[in-house]
Amino acid sequence: MCLLLGAGVVVLRLPSVAQPQPASPPSKTSDPTNPIAALRAEIDQLKGKVPDQSHAMADEGYHFANLWFAGEKKNWPLAKFYLDETRSHLNWAVRIIPVRKTRAGDLELKGILDAIDNTFLSEIANSIESKNVEKFTGAYRQTIEGCYACHKAAEKPYLRPQIPQAPPQSIINFDPDARWPE
């Protein structure tokens, strides 16, 4: 901060809040020559950079909601894309937290995901492949029920999924016959 007085004018210069700040140095260990301590410090630093599971699940919700609208509009290539993204983000969420602690004990999320993927999500994939909107609708609803069963098992019954009423983003055109943009 700099304060200048002259000719009856006070000029106060403050550092810009938009200026980039230097990156904080990596965590220092008490003994930098100890490789175990250095690895622990690096792991702690990396853990601080990893998104939490709710971030991955928010992304998954975006893709799963868009899957509904793509299927509803019979845009099967787009539906396949959103199904693949849903699967990818569910796997990401499980990699972030593979085991959730509950009052009943450890909840292995990978096993639940495998069951959902091999049943409900596979049924959605089959409905997309066969371009069957009725089958798609039923499989989507069953998947939501499977998702909610996982939420309840994870002691999060307040995370109650539903059939989306509107696309989460209006940037994607769900019309398979759209001609713009070229």
Q: Could you tell me which of 148, 150, 128 has the C-alpha nearest to residue 138?
A: 128
Using one digit for the tens of pLDDT, what is the confidence trace for 64-76?
999 999 999 999 9
Helix (H) or strand (E) run with residue 34 in it: none
Residue 81 lies in a domain: yes
Residue 29 lies in a domain: no
Using one digit for the tens of pLDDT, what is the confidence trace for 62-108?
999 999 999 999 999 999 999 999 999 999 999 999 999 999 999 99
Look up the CATH number of the domain holding residue 69: 1.20.120.10
Residue 101 lies in a domain: yes
| pTM score over 0.75 | no
What is the pLDDT at residue 52? 85
Residue with tokens 């796997």: 91
- Percent of the chain topping pLDDT 90: 62
Confidence band for 163, pLDDT divided at 50, 70 and 90: very high
What is the pLDDT at residue 111? 96
Length of the chain: 182
Does residue 8 register a pLDDT over 80?
no
Please check whether residue 41 is in contact with residue 97, taking contact to mean a CB–CB distance below 8 angstroms: no
Residue 41 lies in a domain: no
Q: How many domains does the chain have?
A: 1
Residue 146 lies in a domain: yes
Residue 18 lies in a domain: no
Does residue 21 register a pLDDT over 70?
no
Phi, psi values for residue 102, rounded to 5°? -130, 170
Does residue 26 register a pLDDT over 90?
no
Containing structural domain, residue 123: 53-153
Residue 94 lies in a domain: yes
